[in-house]
Amino acid sequence: MSAQKLYVTSPIYYVNDNPHIGHAYTNLACDVWARFMRLDGHDVFFLTGTDEHGQKVEKSAELAGVSPKIFVDEKSQKFRDLFKALDFSNDDFMRTTEPRHQKAVHHIWNLLLERDQIYLSTYSGWYAIRDEAYYNESELIDGKAPTGAPVEWVEEPCYFFRLSAWQDRLLEFYQNNPDFMYPKSRGNEVLSFVRGGLKDLAVSRTTFKWGIPVPNDPAHVMYVWFDALTNYLTALDYPNENWQQNFWAHSYHVMGKDILRFHAVYWPAFLMAADLMPPKQVVAHGWWTNEGEKISKSLGNVINPIDLIEKYGLDQTRYFLMREVSFGNDGNFSHQAMIKRMNSELANDLGNLVQRVLVQVSKNCAQKVPEKGTLLPQDLTLLEKAYNTLDQVRDEFWHWGFNKALDQIWEVIGDANRYIDEQAPWGLKKTDLKRMETVLYTLCETIRVVGLFVQPFMHKTANQILDLVGVKSDHRDFSYLLIPLESGVDLPQPSVLFPRFVEAAA
Ligand code: MSP
C-alpha cells in the first residue's frame, strides 16, 4: 500500500479520576498501531488528551475543595505523566480547556446554528452525571442508567441538535461504509439503537457553569460530549483555512465499548450536519477485569499501570496487554497469566533464542556477524518464512488484530528455536565450521527480522535486539526488511533481554 497520512485518536479522558489500566490500554493500542504504521512508511498523527469540562469534573473539583481550573491542571498532568512513563508516541496532547479548542467548538456550534441544525427549547428527562449521558425512561433499569449509574431528573432550557433528522442518513452511511464500526458485533448494537429511532439531542446545559459557554447565550454551557468530540478536529487545526483535512480523510477513533454510541451516532451526525466527512472508522475494544472481578473504586481493585510497570517491566506490560486478549473482546488481568507469558513467551521463546545465538556468535565467530556462506534449503525456509510474515502482520494491523500479529511473529520465533535445535551449531563447531557460521548467520538474520517486527509492541527491547545484531539505528523501518545483515560487522557483548520473573518469598 502506498504511503498515507493516518490519524489515530484515543478518547480524551475525564480528569475526575486518576488514570488506570483502561486509559493505559486504549492509548497503548493507539501507540502500537501508530508505531507499526510509521515503520511501514505512513505519516501518522496520534492524538490523545484530557476531557476537562462537565458536571462530573465540576463536582469532583468541589469535593476536592479547589477551583475547577486548579483541579483540571493538576489531574491532566497525571495523565501526561502516565503516558510518558508508558513511552507513548502521541504527536499531540489535547486539553479541552485550551483556547484553540474553544475556538473550534464555537466555530462548529455557529455553523450548526446557521444551518438550523440547533434550536432552543426545553429538556426534561433523566441524566446520569457519571456517564455524562441522557437516558430515556424506557432505558432505565431499577431506576438507574443501563450502566448502573445513578440518574437525576433534569428540567431546563436547552439547545437541541436535530439528531432525529439524521437517522436515515446515518443508516445509509453505515450501509455504504460496512467497515465504519469495528468490531461488527458491536456495530450491530449501534445499528439497532439507530433503527429504534433517534430523538433530538440536548447539547447545552444551564444548571452548572463548568463548560464552554454557548456563543451569545452565556447562561448555557455546551453539553460535554459536544465539546469533547470536537477535540478530534481541533488537533488538526480546524477551523483554520489550512486545517489538515488529509489526515481527517483517514481518521481512526479508538475507544472502549461503552462510548461507541457517542462516536458512531452523535459524532458522524454532528459532522454531516456541518458538511464535514465522518471519521473513517470507529474501533471499540472490550473492558478489563482484575483477577476475574469488575474493576471499580468501591471494590478497591483499580489497576494502576505504573504499579504494573514497576512490578513486571514496561515492555512486559505492553506485551501482555496486547497479547492476552483479542482486541474488541473483554480481557482479564491476572498475575499468574502475566508471569506465564513473561516466563514462557518472553524469557524462554524470545529471550533464550537471542541469548543462545549471540553467546555462540560471541564465542565462536569472534563477536562478528557470522559468514553467510552458502544457504541450504532449510536456511532459506526459515528466512523466507520470517520475511513473508510482514504481509500477514500488516494484514492483522489493518484489522486491529494485535494478538494475531503477535501469534505470527511468535511462529517465526518457534521455527527459529526448532531450527537451532535441529541444526545444533554447537556440534558443528567441531565438524564443520563453515556450516556453523551459516547456521548462526541464518539465526542472526532471523533475529533481526523478529527485532524489526516487535518494535511497535516493545520498542525498548526491540532496539536492544537490533543493537545486539548490529542493525544501524536508521535501518530499522520495514523498508529495510529485505536488506540482510552484512557478515563481518562487529557486535556488542550479548546481554539478557528478559530476566525470568521469580515470585518474592512470602
Ligand atoms: N471523556 C470521555 C471520552 C470522550 S472522547 C471524545 C470518557 N472518558 S473516560 O475517562 O471515562 O473513559 C475513557 C476510556 O477508558 C473509555 O474508552 C473507556 O472504555 C475506557 N475504560 C474505562 N475503564 C475500562 C476498563 N476497565 N477496561 C478497558 N477500558 C476501560 O469516556
Q: What is the pLDDT of residues 56-105, one digit of tens each?
A: 999 999 999 999 999 999 999 999 999 999 999 999 999 999 999 999 99
2: confidence class by pLDDT, cuts 50, 70, 90: confident
> In the predicted model, what is the mean pLDDT of residues 31-49?
98
What's the pLDDT at 36?
A: 98
The end-to-end CA distance of the chain, in Å, is: 54
Question: Would you call 427 helix, strand, or coil by DSSP?
Answer: helix
- Mean pLDDT, residues 282-302: 91
* C-alpha span between 371 and 10 (Å, rounded): 46
Return mean pLDDT, the chain. Answer: 96
Which grid cell is 51? 476531557
Q: 475-500 pLDDT, tens per residue?
A: 999 999 999 999 999 999 999 999 98
pLDDT number for residue 297: 78
- What DSSP string describes 214-237? PTT-TT-EE-HHHHHHTHHHHTTT
Q: Is the dihedral of CA 411, 415, 416, 421 positive or negative?
A: positive
* Ligand 1 within 6 A of CB of 12: yes
For 166-217, the pLDDT digits (tens) are 999 999 999 999 999 999 999 999 999 999 999 999 999 999 999 999 999 9
- Find the farthest-apart pair of alpha carbons in the chain and give their distance in angstroms, rounded: 89
Decide whether any atom of ligand 1 lies within 6 Å of the 260 Cβ: no
Rounded distance, CA 383 to CA 387, Å?
A: 6
pLDDT exceeds cutoff 80 at 338: yes
pLDDT in tens, 260-280: 999 999 999 999 999 999 999
Q: Is the CB of 68 under 6 A from ligand 1?
A: no
- Residue 140 reports pLDDT greater than 80: yes
- Give the three-class secondary structure for 157: strand
Residue range 234-260, pLDDT digits in tens: 999 999 999 999 999 999 999 999 999
- For helices 305-312 and 21-39, the axis angle rounded to 10 degrees is 70
User: What single letter denotes the amino acid at residue 389?
Assistant: T
- Which residues is 251 bridged to in the sheet? 7
Per-residue model confidence as pLDDT tens digits over 410-454: 999 999 999 999 999 999 999 999 999 999 999 999 999 999 999
pLDDT at 506 over 80: no
Judge whether 386 and 412 are in contact, CB under 8 Å.
Answer: yes
DSSP code of 341? I
Q: Where do we find the cell 545486539? A: 468
Nearest CA residue ID for atom 18, ligand 1? 256
Any ligand 1 atom below 6 A from CB of 49 = no
pLDDT digits (tens, 9 = 90+) for 387-400: 999 999 999 999 99
pLDDT above 70 as % of the chain: 99
Distance 187 CA to ligand 1 centre (A): 18
Quick check: CB of 79 below 6 Å from ligand 1? no
Q: What is the DSSP letter of 203?
A: -
Alpha helices by DSSP H, 165-276:
167-176, 184-195, 224-229, 231-234, 245-248, 260-261, 267-273
Instruction: Tell how far the Cα of 12 is from the centroid of ligand 1, in angstroms.
Output: 8
Q: In the predicted model, is pLDDT for residue 221 greater than 90?
A: yes
- Atom of ligand 1 at shortest distance to CA of 232? 6
Q: Ligand 1 atom 29: the closest Cα is on which residue?
A: 22
| Matching residue, cell 473492558 | 287
Q: What is the pLDDT of residue 1?
A: 67
CB atoms within 10 A of CB 488: 13
Q: What percent of the chain has pLDDT over 90?
A: 95
Alpha-carbon torsion, ordered 163, 263, 284, 28, to 10 deg: -170
Per DSSP bridges, beta strands 288-290 and 293-294 are: antiparallel
Establish whether residue 331 lines the binding site of ligand 1, counting it when its CB lies within 6 angstroms of any ligand atom. Answer: no
CA 258 – ligand 1 centroid, Å = 7
Is the pLDDT assigned to residue 44 strictly greater than 90?
Answer: yes
Alpha helices in 424-469 (DSSP H): 425-431, 433-454, 459-468
| Amino acid (1-letter code) at residue 385 | K
Mutate to test the pocket of ligand 1, among 16, 23, 230 (most ligand atoms within 8 A of CB): 23
Report how far residue 310's alpha carbon sits from residue 500's, in angstroms, rounded to the nearest whole number: 15
Cβ–Cβ contacts within 10 Å for residue 377, how many? 7
Whose Cα sits closest to atom 11 in ligand 1? 14
Residue range 303-313, pLDDT digits in tens: 999 999 999 99
Taking CA atoms, 459 is separated from 89, 291, 476, in Å, by: 11, 28, 11
Q: What is the structure's pLDDT at 108?
A: 98
